[in-house]
């Protein structure tokens, strides 16, 4: 709840070197993820959205976790988190941050919210790859544009 009420890194990042837009057409959530890179390291990450609380919390946690990570480390984090969103029961045994575990517990209790939790991460993935946008398909998989 704290990440919903007091989202971290919820702002535009004027010096962003990468930016991607994400859309979940099923619920109407939209995201912009901003990254400021120094070499292959994420110096700063931020986001803005018109979204539900789960999406907001997920993005808040995500931007804090990827700061100071390399692009490869962040890409691995995206793969692991989105895998756990599809299989939230495995989160108990996985090495994830407490805040991530809380988000995954909501998805486990309400599987239809998986796309909400994953949208920010798929949008981050698009930004990491230098893509401008991604749209979640009904099956939860992203389609980049």
In a domain, 141, yes or no: no
**How many beta carbons lie within 10 A of that of residue 72, not counting itself?**
10
In a domain, 145, yes or no: no
In a domain, 142, yes or no: no
**Structural domain count of the chain:** 1
CATH code of the domain covering residue 106: 3.90.1010.10
In a structure prediction context, what are the per-residue pLDDT tens digits for the chain, which is 145 residues long?
A: 665 677 889 999 999 999 999 999 988 999 999 999 999 999 999 999 999 888 888 899 899 999 999 999 999 999 988 888 887 666 565 566 666 666 677 767 777 778 888 899 999 999 999 999 999 888 778 886 6
CB neighbours of 13 closer than 8 A, spacing ≥ 6? 34, 35, 36, 44, 45, 46
**Are the C-beta atoms of residues 81 and 90 closer than 8 Å to each other?**
no
Query: pTM of the entire structure?
Result: 0.87
């Amino acid at each position: 709840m704290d990440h919903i009420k007091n989202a971290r890194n919820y702002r535009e990042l004027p010096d962003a070197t990468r930016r991607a837009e994400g859309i979940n057409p099923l619920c109407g959530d939209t995201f912009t993820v901003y990254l400021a890179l120094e070499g292959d390291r994420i110096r700063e990450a931020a986001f803005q959205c018109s979204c539900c609380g789960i999406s907001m919390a997920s993005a808040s946690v995500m931007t804090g976790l990827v700061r100071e990570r390399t692009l490869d480390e962040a890409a691995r984090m995206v793969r692991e988190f989105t895998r756990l969103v599809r299989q939230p029961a495995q989160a108990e045994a996985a090495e994830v941050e407490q805040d991530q575990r809380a988000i995954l517990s909501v998805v486990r209790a309400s599987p239809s919210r998986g796309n909400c939790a994953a949208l920010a991460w798929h949008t981050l993935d698009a930004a990491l790859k230098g893509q401008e946008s991604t749209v979640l398909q009904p099956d939860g998989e992203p389609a980049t544009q």
